Amino acid sequence: MTFSKKLDLAEYCVTTKEEESTYFLYSFIEHSGLTQQTNFVCYFKDFQSENSWLNYIGEGRVLRADSIKSEENKRVYILFYVRKDIAIKLKLVQTHTI
């Protein structure tokens, strides 16, 4: 599955404000394994670093992940996006990198 780190949903939104129709990927859950032996790994954006990701591997352990590329073939189970205006307000993205 391919996925984008940035979504522009302007053509599907009533609003004309770009901040309210643009979303950034901030987390996703990857699935691997079979029905009886399944494993879920959560990746989340390290907002202190521009292109860095962390992954939660369970039992409170967090590791730095390699750079996540949208063209990678991942077994993504669910994607989490945050709207641009909220990301800026919460300082989840640096405005000069947008």
Per-10-residue mean pLDDT, the chain, length 98? 83 81 88 75 79 76 70 74 86 62
Residue 15 contacts residue 83 (beta carbons within 8 Å): no
72 domain-assigned: yes
Q: Is residue 1 part of a domain?
A: no
The whole domain housing 52 covers 6-97
Has this prediction a pTM greater than 0.85? no
- Half-sphere exposure (CA, 13 Å, Cβ side) for 11? 2
Query: Closest Cα to residue 13, out of 90, 84, 77?
Result: 84
| 10 inside domain | yes
How many structural domains comprise the chain?
1
The whole-number pLDDT of residue 81 equals: 93
